Amino acid sequence: MSVVQQGPGRFQVEVQASGGTTRHTVEVPDGLVDELGWSSRGETELVRESFAFLLEREPPTSIMRQFSLDVITRYFPEYPAEMGKRAPL
């Protein structure tokens, strides 16, 4: 998996799997990093861990091609608590 920042709060994520490569554009809304217990320097890692979280639950082809991280909670209510556990110390 590669995560590349494209601009403030905007990332391109590429996931390589046996079924091919998927590309996703992800936005990190203002305040979400702090809300989940991550520092602002951890934004790229938050995106990476969020994708790891999603990939534990569904194949990469099922992940939306473009979305904001705050929508993950709609589908997986445990997301905020899990990201809190994964936050760097």
Q: What is the pLDDT of residue 17?
A: 83
Instruction: Give 2-40 pLDDT, tens digit per residue.
Output: 999 999 999 999 999 887 899 999 999 999 999 998 876
Instruction: Give 37-74 pLDDT, tens digit per residue.
Output: 887 678 999 999 999 999 999 999 999 999 999 999 99
For every residue of 2-68, DSSP letters joined together read EEEEEETTEEEEEEEETTEEEEEEEE--TTHHHHTT--GGGHHHHHHHHHHHHHTTS-GGGS-SEEE
Contact 53, 83 (CB under 8 A): yes
Q: pTM score, two decimals? A: 0.92
Q: What is the pLDDT of residue 2?
A: 96
